Structure 1
Amino acid sequence: MSRWTRKPREGRARWVLEPLLGVGPLRFGMDPEQVRAALGGARVSPSRTSGGRLSWQRYADVGVTAIYGHGRGHVRGPRLVAVAVDPWCGPLVRLGDVELIARVPSEVRADILDLARSAGVSVRSNWSGDPEVAAWGLSMGAAQERGTPPEEWTRTDRVITDALLVGPELAEDPYATAPVIGWYDVREARPNPGTSPLPPRERTHWAWTPPAGVGPLRFGMSVNQVSAALGGEAPAIRRGWNLWAGRGAGPWYLREEQFDAAGVTAHYWSPEGPPTLAAVTVDGRTGPQVDWDGIRLIGRSVSEVDAEVIRRIEERGLEWTVHCDGGPGPEELNMYVRATRAGDAVVSGARFFAPDWEDRGR
């Protein structure tokens, strides 16, 4: 979910979830004007359309995103089918006696399991490893906790819960439907395994050589060269995109390959011709250890690594910047610290990239 301005708990609204009917003042089936009126005329920023039809609207002041489907038959126009609640500034939603938002995920899971047992409904795990209850139209999630103003970009070492709340037509598989995919496509997300990171002694060590590459990987390598450099490992996941041409999908372009055994993701670009390696993300849970100027970057407390990296950058007279996913790094060296979820916590990873590569933060 998006990084909005953080609100203290005492300044947040308190809503009640009425399963499959609505949450707080919102009711599934409302049109966009009814949603806005129910939210007291809150400002919309931003919104998204797909195929000329409204897909979702974000209400930053309230901390929710309204997701719309489009009715058939006598029901015309967009209708509210789902509500995503932000963990940092959204309303504190309650289901029965269970508070769902901005809490420790494992604690919320335990409370949901207790409530589900008493109600006689089943609980499953969703794409992120968090609880999902079709009978309640509830799919939990989590995001990294942030610092308080004025240093909201700072990151903590824990995650807090958010939620996707849906109407009856989406309850069986909320994240697999077109309205929700248009807001957040989990096919592009890495599942949370909920396991602890590898200890240092079980990690290989890679050298970082800016701006050439990291470990055995060098920017500019072909797809086959990347696999060969990783000992012939085949990627567990390949992601890409289609170039749309005319009325249909055009050629498919490879964007990244995920190598689970090595604990890295290779990112490609293809400005002219076949794709070549442009960036490498080292996973905080399972990736190799990489050092920079005496700092171990991988598999540690994110807040500690952030602080050490910033201090070293300033000591060396370099400039530092916060990248699109919230991690700091030396602007001149094309690296920044990333965070990998591991259950209720996060551990540090890193991304290394070639000059002029456009980083989209995924």
Structure 2
Amino acid sequence: MLGAIVGVGMPWWNRKPEERAQWVLEPLVGVGPLRFGMNPDQVASALDGAIAYISQGMGSGVGWGCYSDWGVTAVYGEDFGLVAVAIDAMDGPLVRLQDVELIARVPSEVRSDIHGLARREGASVRVNWSGDPEVAAWGVSMGAAQELGLSPEGYAQRQDTMITHALLVGPELAEDPYGSKPVIQWCDVRDREPNPGAWPVKAEQDRTHWDWTPLESIGPLRFGMDPQQVAAALNEVPAARQGRYPFGEPWEGPGEWMLHHDRFDIAGVTAHYSCGRGWPPTLGAVTVHGRTGPQVDFDGIRLIGMSVSAVDAALIQHLEDRERGLVIGCGGDLGPGGLNMYVRATRAGDTMVSEARFCQADWEDHG
């Protein structure tokens, strides 16, 4: 069932909340004008001829297309049929399931409403990979993203709040939405640390303090260390590590596995490595985790575990006062020019807290 359709084609910064499309979810059947099983042409027609500005595999069966004007991503199965619809937090349609509004709301409030509806309906609620509610009986898997706003000058700026988005799936994916092949092709979360649904933040007085020498070292870690030296400096075994086999010609075989990063949960940091075919991994960057990591200062600005908007504002003012350049990373992260440091944001339940990535001079950060 399709509710009011207004405001389509406008970016979020030009669209008022009341101008967003309003859709109704029919569990395991469809949402708004979209029905599971539609082919890409039918989806485009249902979206008033919308174009998938970003897509992959659309001509091979399993694939996906992002309809940016609608804030919707359509995911297709092997028979070219629509199997999942992802609704963007900032500019996707406002989706309602009975009396529960699912999109662009405070995550804990949506979670409470979903549990209440599930009790009335006799449905089971579980926690998905991101720590948000998932209900197989409805084909609903919730998530959350950082809210964005506009500065007085009209620029997009990060907020300290999280708002909800959702992945809505048909019956064939309902039991494991993010574990299904079509969804993995669109958004592979298998290497991400699963969240149990809690986001404890270490108190300031319980954090150690690390010194930072730009482009050279952070705390006990010096750029160029090998993984064994990093673990020894932290006196900790990695809780998790991620890497891949290099891409090569088929006759070359998979090659030697390349380490990308190690996560250290006690220290509250992730070590990122430079490596490639023929050279071993060396430390190229360190992310200090916002919820659990040590405190690090930049010219008196505390960077870790703070309000993201406050750190952004302090950093911008500091650099303007000194007529220094501001660098914006690919994920919207801010940093001082020439120092290869980026203030990042991480979720803490309904809010965001700041963290930071410190890099060596030749490290190219891609988020």
TMscore range, shorter length: over 0.9
Deviation, 1:245, is: 3.4
Paired residue for 2:160? 157
CA contact (8 A) 1:5 1:152 kept: no
Q: Pick from 41, 53, 67 the counterpart of residue 33 of structure 1.
A: 41
Residue identity in the other structure for 1:219: F
Distance in structure 1 (CA, Å) of the matches to 2:60 and 2:217:
42
Residue identity in the other structure for 2:285: A
CA contact (8 A) 2:224 2:284 kept: yes
Q: Pick from 267, 273, 278 the counterpart of residue 268 of structure 1.
A: 273
Deviation, 1:79, is: 1.3
Change (3 A) 1:176 1:152: farther
Distance in structure 1 (CA, Å) of the matches to 2:164 and 2:25:
15
CA contact (8 A) 2:58 2:65 kept: no
Q: Pick from 256, 278, 296 the counterpart of residue 290 of structure 1.
A: 296
Deviations 1:138-165 (A, max 9, x none): 0000000011376453111110000000
Paired residue for 2:204? 200
SS in 2 for 1:33: helix
Deviation, 1:43, is: 2.1
Distance in structure 2 (CA, Å) of the matches to 1:50 and 1:66:
10
Q: Pick from 202, 209, 213 the counterpart of residue 209 of structure 1.
A: 213
Deviation, 1:52, is: 5.2
172-181 vs 242-251, which deviates more?
Answer: 242-251
Q: Pick from 171, 174, 180 the counterpart of residue 183 of structure 2.
A: 180
Paired residue for 1:142? 144
SS in 1 for 2:246: strand
Paired residue for 1:75? none
Q: Taking structure 2 as the reference length, what is the TM-score of the superposition? A: 0.92
Paired residue for 2:3? none
CA contact (8 A) 2:61 2:77 kept: no
Deviation, 1:182, is: 1.0
CA contact (8 A) 2:239 2:264 kept: yes
Q: Pick from 328, 334, 340 the counterpart of residue 322 of structure 1.
A: 328
Q: Pick from 310, 324, 328 the counterpart of residue 316 of structure 2.
A: 310
In the alignment, structure 1 residue 55 sits paired with structure 2 residue 63: yes
Q: Taking structure 1 as the reference length, what is the TM-score of the superposition? A: 0.93
Distance in structure 1 (CA, Å) of the matches to 2:131 and 2:101:
19
Paired residue for 1:253? 258
Distance in structure 1 (CA, Å) of the matches to 2:156 and 2:291:
23
Structure 2: 5+ residue stretches without partners: 1-10
Structure 1: 5+ residue stretches without partners: 72-77
CA contact (8 A) 2:160 2:351 kept: yes
Distance in structure 2 (CA, Å) of the matches to 1:182 and 1:353:
30
Corresponding pairs, count: 351
Deviations 1:56-85 (A, max 9, x none): 1000000000011113xxxxxx21110000
Paired residue for 1:219? 223
Change (3 A) 1:38 1:50: closer
Change (3 A) 1:148 1:8: farther
Paired residue for 1:228? 232
CA contact (8 A) 2:58 2:64 kept: no
Deviation, 1:253, is: 1.1
